[in-house]
Amino acid sequence: MNNSIRELTLLQPDDWHIHLRNGDALATTVPHAATSFNRVICMPNLVPPVKNADDARAYRERILHQLADSNISADRKATFDPRMTLYMTDHTSVQDIEIAAKSGIVQAVKLYPAGATTNSADGVTDILACADVFAAMEKYNLPLLLHGEVTHAHVDIFDREKRFLDEVLVQIIANFPILKIVLEHITTSDAADFVLAQGNQVAATITPQHMMLNRNHLLLGGIKPHLYCLPILKRETHQKALLNVATSGSSKFFLGTDSAPHATDKKEAACGCAGCYSSPTALPLYATAFDSIGKIDKLEGFTSRFGAEFYGLPVNTNTVTLINTPMQVPTHYPYFDGSTLTPLMAGETLPWSIKG
């Protein structure tokens, strides 16, 4: 821990990977996100998915309508900017890409291998058959966001990310060398090393859970359903590797919470949902992780600069201040239909909090 820094003012962060969901869920997720972040890249795996620019525009309007109805401050409302993504399917067309790129609201295209995670049944079944779409994305400078796992039933769940790198991603990069790619929520040292070995067109996001926790936290003493996410937590060696690259000052790694709301009763079920909810406490979580190895002075690049620079967007000018004063993560948040959301590290005390 860096005991010399007791207070840290950062440029307001952005979240380059978040799930806000849809419908009644937005009443909770939108104000939580807007309190912490300026821009958020909204995942498109709704039911039905966000498949084209018209879907994206309608979804963004629903988010902004909920923002207007929320009780957060006027200045946070004024700076919140949800950036949309398209959900790539086997039927995504070159025209879909062109229209999205010219829309002004679609920031990227998300590729889920079919069956990889929540609401991914409509995902791509043959990634290497998407060449014309990748070429269009390259042409219109629309980044590709990847859930980087293979989904073959015979591949061990702990090996799926590395297999994706070796079998799929190397081919995409070889065939489309200037396509901007974000390997999202990386979980292994293999992924970190892979990203470092590529050119500036390849970057990665890292979640708080993957740099703070490992599979022992998930499994020892009984399964912890609120730590279950996809890609799944890996060994401690991978956790430490992610923390090291996140705090290294490399601009190839930036904040993406992958905050994913699931009602508590759906997580604590016989077949619990995959996803950790971290949006409202993300900044103290990341600060705690960085400070755990004395690198909190590297936090602003990761949270507030590198993502914007990768996407070619201006860095924010407003600020937020973190203070080295403990806070307790709430045990739950109210959710819709009388349910609750249990956040990542619920009930635990973090050494950093947001001032004011």
pLDDT digits (tens, 9 = 90+) for 49-77: 999 999 999 999 999 999 999 999 999 99
Per domain, the residue ranges of the chain are 7-354
91 C-beta neighbours (distance < 10 Å), count: 10
Look at residue 127 in the predicted model and tell me its pLDDT.
81
DSSP 49-92: ---SHHHHHHHHHHHHHHHHHS-S-HHHHHH-EEEEEEE--TT-
pLDDT in tens, 170-180: 999 999 999 99
- Is the distance from CB of 234 to CB of 187 less than 8 angstroms? yes
Contact 57, 104 (CB under 8 A): no
Is residue 17 part of an annotated ligand binding site?
Answer: yes
Q: What percent of the chain has pLDDT over 90?
A: 92
Average pLDDT of the chain is 95
DSSP at 114 = T
Mean pLDDT of 285-290: 98
Concatenate the DSSP letters of all residues of 126-178 into one string: -GGG-HHHHHHHHHTT-PEEE------TTS-TTTHHHHHIIIIIHHHHHH-TT
Residue among 167, 184, 166, 75 nearest 128 (CA): 167
What is the C-alpha radius of gyration for the chain, rounded to an integer number of angstroms? 19
Q: What is the mean pLDDT of residues 229-254?
A: 98
On whether the CB atoms of residues 340 and 26 are closer than 8 A, the answer is: no
Pairing verdict, β 106-111 and 144-146: parallel
65 is in an annotated binding site: no
**197 labelled ligand-binding:** no
Mean per-residue pLDDT for 85-104?
96
Is 1 a residue whose pLDDT tops 90? no
Asked if residue 93 has pLDDT above 90, the reply is yes
Compute the distance between CA of residue 164 and CA of residue 155 in angstroms, rounded to an integer: 11
pLDDT confidence of residue 120: 60
Q: Are 206 and 185 in contact (CB under 8 A)?
A: yes
What would the pLDDT profile of 129-172 be if each residue is shown by its tens digit? 899 999 999 999 999 999 999 988 999 999 999 999 999 999 99
For 180, phi then psi, to 5°, come to -70, 130
- AA identity, residue 32: H
In angstroms, the CA 321 to CA 12 distance is 9
Which of the listed CATH numbers 3.40.50.150, 3.20.20.140, 3.90.1280.10, 3.90.79.10 matches domain 7-354? 3.20.20.140
Confidence of residue 125 (pLDDT cuts 50, 70, 90): confident
CA-based nearest residue to 55, from 10, 24, 15, 100: 100
Catalytic residue numbers read 258
What pLDDT is recorded for position 3?
62
Note the pTM of the prediction, 2 decimals. Answer: 0.96
238 is in an annotated binding site: no
User: What are the pLDDT digits (tens) for 182-241?
Assistant: 999 999 999 999 999 999 999 999 999 999 999 999 999 999 999 999 999 999 999 999
CA distances from 181 to 20, 43, 134, 139, 311 (A): 22, 15, 10, 14, 10
**pLDDT above 70 coverage of the chain, percent:** 97
Give the mean model confidence (pLDDT) for residues 286-310.
98
- Residue 121: its pLDDT value, please? 64
Please list, in sequence order, all residues whose beta carbon lies within 8 angstroms of the beta carbon of residue 74, skipping any fewer than 6 positions away: none
20 is in an annotated binding site: yes
C-alpha dihedral (42, 78, 308, 134), degrees to nearest 10: 40
- Has 147 been labeled as part of a binding site? yes
Ligand-binding annotation for 141, yes or no, is no
